[in-house]
């Protein structure tokens, strides 16, 4: 596998989501809430997550166990899209706790856990990273 334009788009959006997510979550914590910051960074995070999920549809890996190029990590695509829709549904119904719970779980699962799996030495980006340190 090599760095293609679609992988570059996917990677850029994913890194952006990892960076903007904590700001969106932080802006609604504690007594000093910042609704404008939360909304701006929240919409940015959602947009980046949608770009990440949709671009992942076009990234196939035939080396890992797969089904027509789709590996188990591709299961995060529908989870992410359904989760985002569900979070906005909760918001529309006024269920702030449900919205918060879904968004926090999406950030942890789709950004942090998936990001950790992406950096495994046998994966493309993990190999690029660890080989720079002579570890792969």
Q: In this predicted structure, what is the pLDDT of residue 1?
A: 67
Largest CA distance in the chain: 52
In angstroms, the CA 72 to CA 8 distance is 21
DSSP secondary structure string, 30-83? Answer: SSS--HHHHHHHHHHHHHHHHHHHHHHTT---SSSS-BTTB-GGGGHHHHHHHH
Assigned token pair, 133? 């340190």
In angstroms, the CA 29 to CA 35 distance is 10
Helix count and strand count (H, E) for the chain: 6, 0
Assigned token pair, 51? 């770009």
**pLDDT in tens for each of the 136 residues of the chain?**
678 999 999 999 999 999 999 999 999 876 778 889 999 999 999 999 999 999 999 988 777 677 777 777 888 899 999 999 999 999 999 999 999 999 999 999 999 999 898 888 888 788 888 888 887 6
Q: In this predicted structure, what is the pLDDT of residue 119?
A: 87
Q: In this predicted structure, what is the pLDDT of residue 75?
A: 87
- CB-based contacts of 68, cutoff 8 Å, min separation 6: 60
């Amino acid at each position: 596998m090599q760095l293609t334009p679609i992988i570059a788009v996917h990677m850029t959006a994913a890194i952006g989501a990892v960076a903007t997510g904590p700001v969106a979550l932080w802006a609604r914590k504690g007594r000093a809430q910042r609704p404008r910051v939360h909304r701006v960074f929240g919409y940015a995070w959602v947009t980046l997550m949608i770009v990440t999920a949709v671009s992942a549809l076009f990234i196939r890996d035939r080396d890992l166990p797969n089904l027509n190029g789709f590996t188990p990590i591709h299961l995060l695509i529908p989870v992410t899209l359904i989760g985002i829709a569900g979070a906005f549904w909760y918001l529309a119904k006024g269920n702030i706790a449900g919205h918060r719970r879904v968004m926090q779980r999406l950030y942890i699962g789709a950004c942090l856990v998936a990001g950790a799996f992406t950096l495994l030495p046998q994966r493309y980006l993990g190999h690029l990273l660890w080989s720079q340190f002579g570890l792969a």
